[in-house]
Amino acid sequence: MNALPPSSGCASELALKERPSERAPVLRERGQREVFCGLTGIIWLHRKMQDAFFLVVGSRTCAHLLQSAAGVMIFAEPRFATAIMEERDLAGMVDAQEELDRVVGKLLQRRPDINTLFLVGSCPSEVIKLDLAKAAERLGAKHAGDVRILNYSGSGIETTFTQGEDACLASLVPEMPAGDSDGAKELLIVGSLPDIVEDQFLRLFKQLGIERVGMLPARNACDLPAVGPQTRYLLAQPFLSDTAMALENRGAQRLDALFPFGAEGTTAWLRAAATEFGIDEMHFNSVVAGPRKRAKRAIEHSREMLGGKRISFLPDSQLEVPLARFLTQELGMEPVEIGTPYLHRTHLARELELLPETARLSEGQHVDKQLDRVREDRPDLTVCGLGLANPLEAEGFATKWAIELVFSPIHGFEQAGDLAELFARPLRRRDVLRV
């Protein structure tokens, strides 16, 4: 096959971006969804916020999900656990709120190092209407001074996979101190990033001359940055709609930008901040030029493998749209179907403009129909969840596990090459194997 995209490929599509009306309507489906629930976010959130503990109030299923999704036997000192509800809790033989007090008391006694405790709601706790907000308030008063107790829902009836992080961060927003509303503008980066990526970004902002930069979440949940009308925030992740809303309610303003994936995405993302903070264009270019060039070089390596290849995304993390844009724009791939559990039009507006109109966008899921489409489309690479990857491989499709995209550092200039490599590796492997 020719390494160049077909004639209707990205180059000509990009020219048409001004006319979004030509895009086929988004396919909206209702059926079986094959995605994790929001509890899964605990796996990366607990590593990010090093003084926080996540207590799921749920069932054996919730506990089993957490241990299976992470593939974890056990971390030496896990900072998450499940309070498994039992028959007694449901049959009203014991008062669930009192039971919760008992479990939390026991936990805090064992873990005096905890500064923030999240009570995380699950489907069962929501269905029986166990009021975790009330519990958090009561327990917070009881343990005031030692631990802050917050709550959010990670339940599968309310949240899909990464929406758990959204709910968690949104629960932190009311806790953020009010900044000086007449003071100088401050930048806030929103979305949990691996420490190494966070540090890279902070260095870049510093070099740009933006001094006041906060992170949500902070590495220590007790060091929350301030928020107010002086706040300008950049989303580092595309799945943070509730958090964004909560920040807006406190006066913060969103800087519209591409998401920081690849050389182009990262440049655009940084530029949005630079422009807002009045950084001189020449200075911006001089700071960004080096790492940007490095990113381009690192990507080049995978371009040969990925250019002209067709890719489909099954809905998973909401990272699908920005990643499809990166792969199209910077690696010359051709997105066939871009499935996402939820399409946030405003946050993704710029990303969507850069997608070729031939790409089929789908929101929600009917997994069986979607797999039928994969079989019909025969993409060169399919991005999907762990439950679907091996079955698709067995049918002859190359796959990339979506969850790796959530667990690995993929943002920013220095990770652009790794991100491209994540997609190239399954294809390279197929070329290498002779068994």
Partner 1 sequence: MQLSVWTYEGPPHVGAMRVATAMEGMHYLLHAPQGDTYADLLFTMIERRGKRPPVTYTTFEARDLGKDTAQLFQDAARDAAERFQPQAMMVGASCTAELIQDDPAGLSEAMDLPCPVIPLELPSYQRKENWGAAESFYQIVRVLADRNIERAPREGRRPLVNILGPTALGFRHRDDLVEIRKILDELGVDVHLVAPLGASPQDITHIGAADFNIVLYPEIGDEAARWLEREFKQPAIRTVPIGVSATRTFIEEVAELAEVDPTSALGDNSSRMPWWSRSVDSNYLTGKRVFIFGDATHAVAAARIAHEELGFEVCGLGCYNREFARDVRAAAREYGVEPLITDDHMEVEDAIIAAQPEMVLGTQMERHIAKRLGMPCAVISAPVHVQDFPARHSPQMGFEGANVIFDTWVHPLVMGLEEHLLTMFRDDFEFSDENGPSHHAAHAPKMSQARAPTIDADVPEEPVVPADSGSIWTAEAERELKKIPFFVRGKARRNTETFASDHGRAEIDLDTLYDAKAHYAR
Percent helix, strand and coil across the chain, each rounded to 5? Answer: 50, 15, 35
Interface with ligand SF4, residue 208, by CB under 6 A? no
Q: According to the binding rule CB under 8 A, does residue 50 interact with partner 1?
A: no
123 contacts ligand SF4 (rule: CB under 6 A) = yes
The yes or no reply on residue 102 touching partner 1 (CB under 8 A) is yes
* First-to-last C-alpha distance (Å) of the chain: 23
Residue 65 is a binding residue for ligand SF4 (CB under 6 A): yes
Counting contacts by CB under 8 A, is residue 133 touching partner 1? no
Kindly state the smallest distance separating residue 165's Cβ from ligand SF4, in Å.
14
432, HSE (Cβ side, Cα atoms, 13 Å): 7
On the question of a cis peptide bond just before residue 217, with omega within 30 degrees of 0, the verdict is yes
Counting contacts by CB under 6 A, is residue 240 touching ligand SF4? no
Q: How far is the CB of 78 from ligand SF4 (least distance, A)?
A: 17
Per rule CB under 6 A, is residue 385 in the interface with ligand SF4? no
Q: Give the number of other Cβ atoms within 10 Å of residue 234's Cβ.
A: 23
Decide: is 37 part of the binding site for partner 1 (CB under 8 A).
yes
* Strand blocks (E) in 51-166: 52-58, 80-84, 116-121, 148-153
Q: 315 vs 356, which CB is nearer to partner 1?
A: 315
Give yes or no for residue 336 binding ligand SF4 (CB under 6 A).
Answer: no
Q: CB within 8 A of 7, min separation 6: which ones?
A: none
Among 116, 122, 267, 382, interactor with ligand SF4 by CB under 6 A: 122
The yes or no reply on residue 59 touching ligand SF4 (CB under 6 A) is: yes
Question: According to CB under 8 A, which residues from 214 to 273 bind partner 1?
Answer: none
Residue from the set 35, 37, 298, 333 that interacts with ligand SF4 by CB under 6 A: 37
Residue type, 259: F
How buried is 296 (Cβ within 10 angstroms: 0-12 exposed, 13-18 middle, 19+ buried)? middle
Among the residue ranges 95-103, 173-181, 248-256, 263-271, the one whose residues contact partner 1 (CB under 8 A): 95-103
One-character DSSP codes across 183-214: S--EEEEES---HHHHHHHHHHHHHHT---EE
Pairing of strands 186-190, 27-30: unpaired
**What residue ranges bind ligand SF4 (CB under 6 A)?**
37, 39, 58-59, 61-62, 65, 122-124, 155-156
